[in-house]
Amino acid sequence: MNSKPKTTTLLRSPAKLNLFLHVINKRSSGYHSIESLFVPIMWFDEIYIEKTDDGVITREGDLAGDLAGDLLVKSAKLLKKYAYQYLGNHNEIISSSGCRIFVKKNIPSGAGLGGGSSNAALTLKTLNVMWNLNFTSLQLSEIGKEIGADVPFFLQDHSCFVSGIGEKLSQIMDESFLPHYFVILIPKIEVSTLEIFNSLNSDNYSTASNFLFLESNQTPSFFKEFNSGIWTYGRNDLESTTCNNFPIVGIALNLLKKLAKIYDLPENSCRMSGTGGAIFCSAPTLAIARKIKLQIEKNSKDEFISKVCRRLVCKKLTLGT
């Protein structure tokens, strides 16, 4: 059977953009230290999760073929493992707790938008409630780090400065300085995060800026010191590597810069998210964003996926029946 469960409300799993992404160094573990600014955007995968009492975890819907590597299944199993470890006096209840997960993918995979990590985080939050585990946000974050570096970000409710390997977060409480709209342009390819980091030359590294030490009321003024604020601050240190490995990403970036210039937007408002291949342009108004998207459709000859998205102001997870 491959139909949506009828006993839960629709859960929406958002994408994210990196407004900048600085790579600081490579650790002895092989992971890279980064500094970035993550913002959630209104582009969602749709997830339905139904609690079952047979102890079995099943996954249906889009991209459900390789369950061994599926992040939603991995999240559910890891949460159950931790439940056994920390809530051992409820082993029988934990053992019988299962779920049926149905996913409709709307966020392109391998585009640097964090769709898989977002799905994993939503699975953790939902099952924590459904299975009555009562893990704290900090405990869920520790579990999330084992699944992927971006998962802890999607477990909380704000745009964030991010550092470490992605696990250190500083919530941005005053988001007034952040862009509201984005035009996103995605080549029809999948980019491997591991391939891009492995190809990165140390000449592309940036110097650490230590944003985590800023007080929340200092953040807007820090970026206002730059003429265009966060719109043009920094860069994506992985951009040139991805463009070299996947020339179509460079073509998309140049197209978006050309169109942004028509509407008096600085070239630096156009950049790549994550390891790519998604390219985005920060836009001051919805009208300008829509005009740029229209020009993309006229110029790209169906080579790319294009979308206008608004920055998401996140709300706490609620479940319905």
3-state secondary structure of 316: coil
Query: What integer pLDDT is reported at residue 308 of this predicted model?
Result: 97
pLDDT value at residue 286: 96
pLDDT at 320: 40
Strands 304-310 and 57-61: unpaired
Per-residue pLDDT, 63: 74
Bridge partners, 15 (sequence order): 41
Return the closest-CA partner of residue 209 out of 234, 239, 236. 234
Q: Kindly list the catalytic residues.
A: 16, 150
Two tokens, residue 133: 């585990």
At 194-232, the pLDDT tens digits run 899 999 988 888 988 766 565 555 555 666 555 555 778
DSSP-derived secondary structure for 81-102: HHHHHH-GGGHHHHHH-EEEEE
Question: Quick one: pLDDT at residue 78?
Answer: 96
Q: What is the model's pLDDT at position 1? A: 44
Kindly tell me the sign of the dihedral angle through the C-alpha atoms of 54, 59, 60, 61. Answer: positive
Cα–Cα distances in angstroms (integers) from residue 108 to residues 20, 103, 304, 305, in the given order: 20, 13, 11, 9
Return d(Cα 273, Cα 19) in angstroms, integer.
7
pLDDT, residue 31, reads: 85
Residue from 84, 95, 156 nearest 124 by CA? 156
Each of the 321 residues of the chain gets a pLDDT tens digit; together they read 456 655 566 899 999 999 999 999 998 888 889 999 999 999 999 999 999 999 999 999 887 566 777 899 999 999 999 998 888 767 788 889 999 999 999 999 889 999 999 999 999 999 999 999 999 999 999 999 999 889 999 998 889 888 888 888 888 877 888 899 999 999 999 999 889 999 998 888 898 876 656 555 555 566 655 555 577 888 999 999 999 999 999 999 999 999 999 999 999 999 999 999 999 999 999 999 999 999 999 887 778 999 999 999 865 444 443
